[in-house]
């Protein structure tokens, strides 16, 4: 009941609703790319360790570096989206 | 300590933490104020200090930074400087482990051998400081702008807030790395040699396109270094706050079994993985940037 009231209130204010949808879409699409990238990194890590387990220690550092660099892409999207949300 | 006693202690601490929260909840319901997550990031001056155009006021972020610096110094001293022996106990083993991680995983990955002695202290203290500031950002502390009343006395609300979820803090840390990078590059290669090393091996006709991009790239490093840490901590806190806040926005306590586990999952993800990864990444990238300035590849 309360939820429905909020949805209707948001729909009345079309501009805010559009901004919210755009922000959510932007972050969602950004997460999509980063999700594929992070999956790639961990998949490659598993393959690499399966082939050469003795390199695990050296590879772990590179793996986390790649993880953080890829994951940050989502947050650039988030910051960009928030900036657009506040400024427009 | 037996296992049962541990659980009782944990439960007692948890109960003690929920008491102020319930007191707060009752006052909020009474006042009927609207919940807005972004209010957590408004910084109010606690002790205003204005010197000319400079605003050096003490606010929530500054308090967290001071606490973080003190804790970093105490932690380093406790783990690595206090009662060291040839027969290490558990505390000293942790200290040596921290030292080894920062040396082999951070300093030796990025810095050339001749520069490790000079720059290892910087990257290691950077990693330790960011880690401590991030961790105390996820521990509820009575440092907040809001107050609640208990037995007629005003207490500050217990809340989680990380100084690193403020862009000014992370930008300052990134600026330090930025300046050290270029100062070290100029010192090691000379000004002309260093700026020449920015230009990659391409035909001369490509220079008008490549040179502005390379210069822009140096400044993009500054932005990516600061925004990565800032946005990670901001998004982590916002996720937890929004999930808990969903109860107050929808004014429905039935959601609690749904939102509290979700917020707990994000909390555990943040404090177990993100906090350490971000401290490691910031220090490792600083080491790589400084190292690549001292010994350019071409």
State whether B281 and A68 contact (CB < 8 Å). yes
A61 contacts in B (CB within 8 Å)?
Answer: 105, 109, 284
State whether B105 and A79 contact (CB < 8 Å). no
Average pLDDT, chain B: 84
B227 contacts in A (CB within 8 Å)?
Answer: 72, 75-76, 79
Chain B interface includes A75 (CB < 8 A)? yes
State whether B231 and A72 contact (CB < 8 Å). yes
Give the pLDDT confidence of B43-73 residue by residue, as tens digits: 878 888 888 777 888 888 898 999 999 999 9
The domain locations on chain B are 33-294
The token pair that represents B186 in the structure block:
């100029």
Instruction: Please provide the CATH number assigned to the domain covering A2-87.
Output: 1.20.20.10
User: What is the reported pTM?
Assistant: 0.81
For chain B, percent of residues with pLDDT exceeding 90: 30
State whether B251 and A72 contact (CB < 8 Å). no
A34 contacts in B (CB within 8 Å)?
Answer: none
Q: Please tell me which residue of chain B has the smallest CA distance to A72.
A: B228
Residue with tokens 């990025």: B110
Q: Looking at the predicted structure, is the pLDDT value of residue B15 above 70? A: no
CB pairs under 8 A between A and B: 42
The token pair that represents B139 in the structure block:
């521990």
Chain B interface includes A85 (CB < 8 A)? no
Give the pLDDT confidence of B98-130 residue by residue, as tens digits: 999 899 888 888 888 888 999 999 999 999 999
B234 contacts in A (CB within 8 Å)?
Answer: 75
For chain B, percent of residues with pLDDT exceeding 70: 88
Chain B interface includes A69 (CB < 8 A)? yes
Beta strands in chain B (DSSP E): 50-51, 54-55, 147-150, 153-156
Residue B146 has phi, psi (to 5 degrees) of -90, 155
Q: Taking a C-beta distance cutoff of 8 angstroms, is the pair A77, A26 a contact?
A: yes
Residue B46 has phi, psi (to 5 degrees) of -90, -50
Regarding predicted confidence, which is higher, A80 or A51? A51
Q: Please tell me which residue of chain A has the smallest CA distance to B228.
A: A72
The domain locations on chain A are 2-87
Within 10 A of B281 (CB to CB), how many other CB atoms are there?
A: 24
Give the pLDDT confidence of B89-101 residue by residue, as tens digits: 888 899 999 999 8
């Amino acid at each position: 009941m309360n939820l429905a009231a909020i949805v209707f209130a948001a729909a009345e204010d079309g501009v805010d609703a559009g901004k919210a949808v755009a922000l959510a879409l932007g972050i969602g699409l950004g997460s999509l790319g980063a999700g594929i990238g992070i999956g790639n990194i961990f998949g490659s890590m598993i393959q690499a360790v399966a082939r050469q387990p003795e390199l695990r220690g050296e590879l772990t550092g590179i793996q986390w570096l790649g993880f953080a660099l890829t994951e940050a892409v989502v947050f650039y999207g988030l910051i960009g989206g928030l900036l657009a949300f506040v400024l427009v | 300590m037996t296992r049962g006693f541990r659980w009782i202690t944990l439960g007692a601490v948890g109960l003690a933490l929920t008491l102020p929260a319930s007191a707060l909840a009752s006052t909020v319901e009474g006042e009927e104020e609207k919940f807005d997550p972004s209010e957590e990031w408004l910084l109010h001056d606690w002790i205003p200090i204005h010197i000319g155009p400079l605003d050096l006021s003490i606010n929530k972020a500054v308090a967290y930074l001071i606490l973080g610096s003190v804790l970093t110094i105490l932690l380093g001293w406790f783990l690595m400087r206090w009662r060291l022996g040839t027969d290490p106990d558990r505390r000293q083993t942790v200290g040596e482990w921290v030292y080894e991680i920062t040396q082999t995983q951070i300093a030796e990955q990025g810095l050339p051998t001749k520069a490790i002695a000079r720059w290892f202290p910087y990257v290691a203290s950077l990693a330790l400081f960011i880690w401590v500031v991030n961790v105390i950002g996820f521990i509820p502390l009575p440092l907040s702008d809001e107050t609640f009343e208990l037995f007629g006395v005003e207490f500050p609300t217990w809340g989680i807030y990380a100084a690193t979820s403020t862009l000014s803090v992370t930008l300052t840390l990134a600026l330090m790395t930025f300046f050290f990078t270029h100062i070290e590059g100029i010192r090691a290669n000379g000004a002309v040699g260093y700026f020449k090393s920015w230009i990659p091996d391409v035909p001369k006709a490509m220079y008008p396109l490549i040179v502005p991009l390379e210069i822009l790239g140096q400044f993009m490093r500054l932005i990516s270094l600061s925004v990565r840490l800032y946005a990670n901590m901001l998004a982590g806190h916002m996720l937890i706050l929004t999930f808990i806040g969903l109860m107050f926005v929808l004014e429905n306590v039935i959601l609690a079994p749904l939102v509290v586990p979700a917020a707990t999952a994000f909390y555990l993800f943040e404090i177990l993985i993100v906090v350490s990864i971000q401290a490691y990444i910031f220090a490792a990238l600083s080491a790589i940037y400084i190292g690549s300035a001292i010994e350019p590849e071409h």
